[in-house]
Amino acid sequence: MKYHIMPFLCLSIITLRPLLAQPTVIDRIAAVVGKEPILLSDVNSQTEYYAFSNRIDPNTPGLKQQVLEAMINEKLILTKALEDTTINVTEDEVTNQLDALIAQRVQQAGSEKKLEELYGMPISRMKWEFRDETRKQLLVQNLQQVKFGEIQSSRREVEEFYAQFKDSLPSVPEQIELYHIFKIPKIGETVKNEIKNKAQKILDSLRAGGDFADFARRYSEDGGTVSSGGDLGFVRRGEFFTEFEEAVFVLKEGSLSNVVETPLGFHVIQLLERRGEQVHPRHILLKFKRDPSEADSTIALLKALKDSAIKGENFSDLAKRHSDDKQSGPMGGYLGLLPVTQFDKSMLEAIGKTKEGEISEPVEVTSGKTGGYQIIYLKKRIPEHTMNLADDWKRIEQLTTSYKRNDEYQKWLKQLRTEIYCEIRL
């Protein structure tokens, strides 16, 4: 029997559909759930959007029927959620979900203007149009979480699942357990002051009436935003450097910050708009220029740290004291036990010749948006292998739980179809 990993929750394919070309047809009812009809036009629209999002042919045999079944399931669960007085969604939850979805779509589209063109409406109208649908989806998700979120698997169930499906479980790709020490070369004070002075002159010109977008296109060194006049779109806390956020979240709409220093360089920031917990800034960035002598000093320090580790000093203790990576440093430089498929080309090249238990030579790297150098300790290398209980218990346990939840979910859907009127007319 072939085992397929299937999600136990129904797919929400109704959220924020863009306007897609549809053939002119006489609309009719495809299905009825309770007292709610599902129109053929909605099924067609959902099918087009699902195909568009997953880059498949909308005429794929059986796709429209699968979409209809997903819509029926969601209507069944929504009907049940509306009946259950313990399942609630607050207005703040709806707002936050909508803000997050629209921010995601803006990023995918490239700008707010492009998103509005894609949907054929301004963002303010999107929030009004999709609010009720978002509330319904949150109700569905909350009910599913209540019913299935606590389901776990016993040891016996994991063993029985493995015995039944072991011949068809996917193989585990090669994995590597890594630690690193990351260092950012210092910027010479003379170079830093020159860049800061240039940023201050730009700020003075803006305060004297200069056009921010024009200045951003002429002077900003942020390649991702220079063409849009420094526009960063709507963002929440946690998406930028702390120094940047401390400056932007206290600004009033339309106002300019002082010159702000982050690990990237110096920024001049303007707040365009504020929506609840989100802000819409634009910025001009002047990046730090690398000082060759400081880069050499950083490489020399990393070589010295490598020598200390080889002589017996604990690598994790060295990482805690010296690493500039704020996330992994406090954890002793731990990057995780990760499949090699997750590493980019530069990382694979850095560790390609490093054997288990060895430390790499210093290599240039970018951590987040910050450039620097690192040494990598390859603690363990696990070759690609067939999944087994001894080495992959947690992975098999997760698959067992997913299978168990999906099984319970399918049973529940069958039960709902006996409790709630459902008629397919397509």
Give the mean pLDDT of 344-365. 85
Fill in the DSSP letter of residue 192.
H
Q: What is the H or E stretch that residue 269 is in?
A: strand 265-275
Q: How many other β-carbons are positioned within 10 Å of the β-carbon of residue 289? A: 13
Q: Inform me whether the pLDDT recorded for 6 exceeds 60.
A: no
pLDDT of residue 368: 57
pLDDT of residue 367: 60
3-state secondary structure of 256: strand
Residue 420 banded pLDDT, cuts 50, 70, 90? very high
Q: How far apart are CA 364 and CA 354, in angstroms?
A: 16
Q: Which amino acid is at 112?
A: E
Encode pLDDT of 116-147 as tens digits.
888 888 888 888 889 998 999 999 999 999 99
Alpha helices in 55-90 (DSSP H): 63-83
Cβ 423 vs Cβ 31: under 8 Å:
yes
3-state secondary structure of 205: helix
Q: Inform me whether the pLDDT recorded for 17 exceeds 60.
A: no
Q: Inform me whether the pLDDT recorded for 78 exceeds 90.
A: yes
Main-chain phi, psi angles of 30, to 5 degrees: -90, -30
Q: What's the Rg (C-alpha) of the chain? A: 27
Give the mean pLDDT of 165-180. 93
Q: Residue 342, Cα to own-chain centre: how many angstroms?
A: 15
pLDDT of residue 341: 84
| C-alpha angle 131-132-137 in degrees, rounded to nearest 5 | 100
Encode pLDDT of 195-232 as tens digits.
999 999 999 999 999 999 999 999 999 988 888 899 99
Task: List strands edge to edge, sheet with 363-367.
Answer: 334-339, 175-183, 370-382, 363-367
3-state secondary structure of 260: strand
Encode pLDDT of 22-41 as tens digits.
455 567 999 999 988 999 99
Residue 104 banded pLDDT, cuts 50, 70, 90? confident
pLDDT of residue 15: 52
Which domains can be identified in the chain, with CATH numbers? 29-154+400-424 (1.10.4030.10), 175-186+291-382 (3.10.50.40), 189-287 (3.10.50.40)
Give the mean pLDDT of 53-71. 91
Q: How far apart are CA 112 and CA 220, in angstroms?
A: 21
Cβ 256 vs Cβ 279: under 8 Å:
no
pLDDT of residue 18: 53
Q: How far apart are CA 26 and CA 418, in angstroms?
A: 31
Q: Inform me whether the pLDDT recorded for 398 exceeds 90.
A: yes
3-state secondary structure of 31: strand
CA separation (Å) from 48 to 7, 87, 161, 298, 389? 22, 31, 37, 54, 42
Tokens 């002159």 correspond to 201
Q: How far apart are CA 109 and CA 402, in angstroms?
A: 33
Q: State the Cα torsion 167-173-177-183 to the nearest 10°.
A: -160
Q: Which residues pair with 162 in a beta bridge?
A: none
Six-digit token string for 84: 């259950």
300 burial level (CB within 10 Å; 0-12, 13-18, 19+): exposed
Fill in the DSSP letter of residue 55.
T
Encode pLDDT of 237-262 as tens digits.
888 888 999 999 999 999 999 999 99
